[in-house]
Structure 1
Amino acid sequence: MGGNASVPTDPNRTLQLIGAGYSRTGTLSMAMALEKLLDGPVMHGGSQLLGREDEYVKLWTDVFDARHDRPRLLKLLKKATQGFVGITDAPGNIFIDELLELYPDAQVVAVTRDRARWWQSWEAVTKTAGAGFLNVFLAPVPGKRWYPKLVMQFLEQQEERHGPMTDKRMDEHNAYVKSVTPPDKFHMMELSEGWAPLCAMLHKPIPDEPFPRANDAEAVEGVNKDILKEAGGRWGVILAVTGALGYGALWVWRSGLLGRH
């Protein structure tokens, strides 16, 4: 998997574990671990929203738009998660209550880490993703063009639930997850604990290999570079075509003007 988006091939598979860790708590490492343990596709938010087709990414904007209409929200969430065996990262991690209604047998695991280090990492992401120019710059890029809107929808939803974003958000989020999860389904861990907690809750043997250690920050930086390169290329084509059409129109106009003399 790595930073690539997993795509389900069997719509009958269902979520077995809901990774409720807040963004920048090792969600990519968690997704890679779950793919290994559950032998199936895992919906890692960052990978999906920046790597899937336009229709699928837009579906998540529809999920956010329906957050105050529970029947429609559940219908759209079901569609967005169909065929996945696990889910991590935003936006799935903020719909724990709804996901549990859809998948009542799933286990839920929240993740904690040093608050100061988490906040430093999280602030950098929101500042970049919330940059206003991205709405225009990413407009010609299928799939990724929805990312700025998704970030704003996410922040709006979070403010509705918890209030203004502060360095306490990870703890507030974990408290929310615990409050909506049946006690026998709720688990809390740090990624430094490795395979043991996940294997225990999923009743799986511990793999004979190291626990995945993907660097979320490096993964995001790499994806950002690819996005900017792709968007820049598309804008180059757009400007070149626009310039050619403009020159052609000018040539026709001048030719017609000269033809009158």
Structure 2
Amino acid sequence: MTILGYTPYHMLEVLTKHGYSHMKIVREAVIAANDRFSGIPRYQRPELDKWLAEYDCLIEIPSYIGMRAMESYAKDPDIKFILTERDPDKWVRSFNNTAGEVGKAANVFPMNILKRFDAELGGFFENTQLMYWAMSDGTDKGHPDNEAALRKNYIEYIHAVKETLPQDRTLVIKLEDGLGWAQICPFLEMDIPDQPYPQANVQEKFQAIIGDFMRPRVMAAMVRLGVVVAPTLGVAGYLGWKYGLTVIE
């Protein structure tokens, strides 16, 4: 969307630009939307405008902060919506291969230790798990009920969005039918740019982004933990295999 002149807000901006301050906001918004006993008011337009004042395009974030937030945007006649829909089983596999894998890593050595020694590393793991559990009914990848819960909640989410958003300002795109400028630009009343629509392997791109984010924070956590040379060899070997992290002794 940047190519079209928008300033998008995505989890990438949370990780690479705003850091822990926005991680705390995301955490609060996700908890408020999914835990009615939390005591945290659900985010509506005033809170969203304060949080996202410098952005004019939200990507994925609305799916985690509740339908009430979506409803507040739907009331604005100047806002349009693009809903990308895909085969539920393919979505489940993709979600498990990205967010599900992060959740698994957070609970095993060495990340279950290191995440406690860097605020942004810990915030990243906590937020990813919260967003994952919101869609998986609290189950982790590999749990007997996990895939069924994810599939059910994804189907219900897509249905709820279609019921909530105004049809005349909502474009529904099925990924299996193709996603590109030809679908997006006419809806936004914009010319098709000369640049090709960005195409990337979602899982590979996700792993690259997470790897770039984690490397310096993992190293900082290791320093704070006071890891000595011998234990570091084992940790470094794991990180190098899992995240492409190079550790120079």
Q: For 1:172 and 1:236, how far apart are their aligned partners in 2? A: 42
Aligned residue among 85, 102, 113 for 1:129 = 102
| Structure 2 residue 186 is the aligned partner of structure 1 residue 200 | yes
* Aligned-pair Cα RMSD in Å: 2.9
Q: Provide runs of 4+ in structure 1 moved above 6 Å.
A: none
Match of 1:190 in 2: 174
Q: Trace 1:93-108 onto structure 2 (pairs within 5 A).
A: 93-94=63-64, 95-102=66-73, 104=76, 105-108=78-81
Which segments of 5 or more consecutive residues in structure 2 lack a partner in the other structure? 138-145, 230-249
Q: Which moved more, 1:166-175 or 1:79-88?
A: 166-175
Q: For 2:112 and 2:95, how far apart are their aligned partners in 1? A: 20
1:120 CA displacement: 1.9
Which residue identity is paired with 2:2?
E
Match of 1:73 in 2: 43
Match of 1:53 in 2: 19
- 8 Å contact kept, 1:41–1:85: yes
**Identity over the aligned pairs, expressed in percent?**
20
Aligned residue among 207, 210, 214 for 1:221 = 207
- 8 Å contact kept, 2:121–2:214: no
Q: Secondary structure at the match of 2:195?
A: coil
Which residue identity is paired with 2:43?
L
Which segments of 5 or more consecutive residues in structure 1 lack a partner in the other structure? 1-33, 244-261
Q: Which moved more, 1:107-116 or 1:171-180?
A: 107-116
1:55 CA displacement: 0.7
- 8 Å contact kept, 1:97–1:181: no
1:58 CA displacement: 1.0
Q: Trace 1:1-261 onto structure 2 (pairs within 5 A).
A: 34-37=1-4, 39-45=5-11, 47-51=12-16, 52-67=18-33, 68=36, 73-74=43-44, 75-89=46-60, 91-94=61-64, 95-102=66-73, 104=76, 105-131=78-104, 132-133=107-108, 134=111, 136-158=113-135, 165-191=149-175, 192-240=178-226
Deviations 1:70-128 (A, max 9, x none): 86522433322222111112x32243541441461211111123444332221122332
- 8 Å contact kept, 1:195–1:206: yes
What TM-score does the superposition give when structure 1 sets the normalisation length? 0.66
Q: Which has the larger radius of gyration?
A: 1
Change (3 A) 1:50 1:144: farther
1:242 CA displacement: 9.5
Change (3 A) 1:71 1:227: closer
- 8 Å contact kept, 1:140–1:231: no
Change (3 A) 1:139 1:41: farther
What TM-score does the superposition give when structure 2 sets the normalisation length? 0.69
Deviations 1:220-239 (A, max 9, x none): 21133234422331133224
